[in-house]
Chains A and B, each alone.
Chain A
Amino acid sequence: MSKSHHDRTHHVKKATGKGDPQCFKGEAGPPKFKVGDHVRIKDLPDLFYTRCQVYTRGAPCTVAALVYESPAAEDEAWDNTDKPEWFYSLIFRQKDLWPDYPEAYANDTVETELSERWLEKA
């Protein structure tokens, strides 16, 4: 039996010879933030799927790099790929994430990537 109505070819056509996320380059529009900006992670609804770690919500961080353009995880997880966003590499101070983080390691950081929808100016 095979009666699938799902479109199996659109991503292959788009990504062949370019790769993913390179195939979305130029589709996200101008980025809202730049390297060095101080931003904060929004506490958006996260029903059914996200890759925005709960431990980052509300925490301040610094933009380390604009890494690529891609559909956000929340869209791509259902194969909705027509609205790519900028992805940012973000640096958090561990002390800003964990209240009991030891003072002796005050300079420790953690870096992770999130899409633009999760960021607001700090």
Chain B
Amino acid sequence: MSSRNKLMKHFQLVGQLQPALHAPQHAPYPDTIDHAHYRAYLRSSHDVGGEPDVPITWEEKEEEQWEHNTFVTCECLAWRGVWNAEERRRRQNVDLGQTIYLGLPYYGRWLLTAARILVDKQYITLTELNNKIDEVRKRYE
């Protein structure tokens, strides 16, 4: 967040991102959640079959370079035993949560997940990762 102004815009945007129920439902008290809602919230976010949705426009599009790089990085993590394919899928399709599952591009989720597993399994610290992101970002300022 490079300025307080951007920070305030960030808060407004986050406030607009609703869970898929499309109903205001923030931090309910226990007696206001029934089992149907519990199950709807807890269901795996990649299991969208049967859910009503709007049509998505199909675009014939080549992968971009960063997408290829992301794929290869994730395959190397598997080759080196950091995760198996099912753990990768669990993390990138479900653990990220409904909002990110629907909100980010496919390989964006792969990339976030690759970073996350390196932190979760203590190959790097979050501090090291954030310092590196900060260092790289400064190259573009």
A and B: bona fide binding partners: yes
Question: Is A73's CB under 8 angstroms from B122's CB?
Answer: no
The stretch that binds A, out of B15-23, B29-37, B44-52, B61-69, is: B44-52
Q: Which residues on B sit within 8 Å (CB–CB) of A46? A: 43-44
Interface string of A39-79 (1 = CB under 8 A from B): 00000001111100111000000000000000101001111
Q: Which residues on A sit within 8 Å (CB–CB) of B87? A: 76-79
Q: Bound complex: CA of A12 vs CA of B90, how far in Å?
A: 20
Q: Bound complex: CA of A105 vs CA of B121, how far in Å?
A: 49
Q: Bound complex: CA of A55 vs CA of B51, how far in Å?
A: 9
What size tier do the contact residues of chain B reach? Answer: 20 to 34
Question: Is A76's CB under 8 angstroms from B42's CB?
Answer: no
Q: Bound complex: CA of A71 vs CA of B83, how far in Å?
A: 15
Question: Is A4's CB under 8 angstroms from B123's CB?
Answer: yes
Q: Which residues on A sit within 8 Å (CB–CB) of B49? A: 53-55
- Select one of B50, B94, B121, B124 contacting A49, CB under 8 A: B94
Q: Which residues on A sit within 8 Å (CB–CB) of B43? A: 46, 54
- Select one of B81, B86, B124, B125 contacting A9, CB under 8 A: B81
